[in-house]
Amino acid sequence: MQSESSTHYKIAEVQNCALTSRVKTDSIFYRLFQEFPSIFFELIGNPPETANTYQFSSVEIKQTAFRIDGVFLPTQNEENPTYFVEVQFQPDSDIYLRLVSEVFLYLRQNKSKNSWRGVVIYPRRNIDTGERQDCYEFFNSDRISIIYLDELGEAASLPIGIATLKLVIENEDTTITTARELINRTKQAVNLQLPQKQLLELIETILVYKLPNISREEIEAMFGLSELKQTRVYQEAKQEGKEEGKQEGRFEAKLEAVPKLLALGLSVKQISQALDLDVAQVQQAIQQTPLNE
């Protein structure tokens, strides 16, 4: 029989894991909307150019414990609404009451002349456990709208920005394939309205968040060295490598990554370039790989 202290410890551990996951998810969405505000407006069905008349920020309401995940504030036209965004990846029965409370406290404190809209983003419908009984008017008037990421459609048919956003909820067994397709789309896109370098960097960040066990060599191979070398994560890794020096374990890690990259569809030449190995070393690693791997 478990002791009461042991039970409390496990509950606290689960809560801490959930909190950590939420913090990571929130930070990704905050960065996404801050760097690519046009994606938000595409998501709610507005022209991407609408972002040019807005400023995005996270807002803390004074003298309360409320913090709104994100607020798009109009910068030019008083007729444009203020958008309050909540990213909700955990069930919360009070989400809508809290959102309305946050909005009206904000409006009271800031004396905004603009109308407002609330947008709640869920990974999937079953996470939406919010009570709506006291908020029906806001839903009926379209003051509050809800987006379920898994119902947006297939990533290949979505705009690149929204497909990047949806990568956050991709199943673990299909994340790598979807990410590779998205990376290729980003590289090959003609007249891409989003900054390519920043977008690739964001995709990499999502991969690191979703697949903590994937090796740096695999990520490098997925991106292609020429693009990855410009990203922040690669530069940090390069500096880390300089500080640590050449290690035998690093070489072994590269060899272990070879069969995984081969399974992802990369050629021997591509693998050798990505891992900075000789073609002969790659071929030898393949030959030494058990057939059942």
Query: What is the domain-level CATH number for residue 64?
Result: 3.40.1350
Give all strands (DSSP E) within 97-197, no chain letters. 116-122, 144-148
- How far apart CA 170 and CA 141 sit, in angstroms, is 32
φ/ψ of residue 291, rounded to 5: -65, -25
In a domain, 146, yes or no: yes
Q: Render pLDDT for 33-50 as a digit per residue (tens, 0 to 9).
A: 888 999 999 999 999 999
In a domain, 196, yes or no: no
In a domain, 134, yes or no: yes
Higher pLDDT, 213 or 71: 71
φ/ψ of residue 57, rounded to 5: -160, 165
In a domain, 277, yes or no: no
In a domain, 20, yes or no: yes
In a domain, 11, yes or no: yes
Question: Which of 103, 91, 40, 33 has its CA nearest to residue 67?
Answer: 103
Q: Render pLDDT for 227-269 as a digit per residue (tens, 0 to 9).
A: 555 555 555 554 554 444 445 457 777 887 888 777 766 778 8
Domain that holds residue 116: 1-151
- How far apart CA 144 and CA 103 sit, in angstroms, is 11
Number of domains in the chain: 1
Q: Render pLDDT for 64-115 as a digit per residue (tens, 0 to 9).
A: 556 677 899 998 777 899 999 999 998 999 999 999 998 998 888 888 788 9
In a domain, 190, yes or no: no
In a domain, 141, yes or no: yes
Task: Note the residue count of the chain.
Answer: 293
Q: Which band of pLDDT confidence, cut at 50, 70 and 90, is reported for residue 61?
A: low
Rounded to an integer, the average pLDDT of 193-221 is: 78
Structure tokens at 108: 């009271």
Question: Any idea which of 111-120, 140-149, 243-252, 265-274 has the lowest mean pLDDT?
Answer: 243-252
Residue 71, phi-psi category: left (phi > 0), alpha (psi -120 to 50), beta (remainder): beta
Q: What pairs with residue 71 in β-bridges?
A: 57, 84
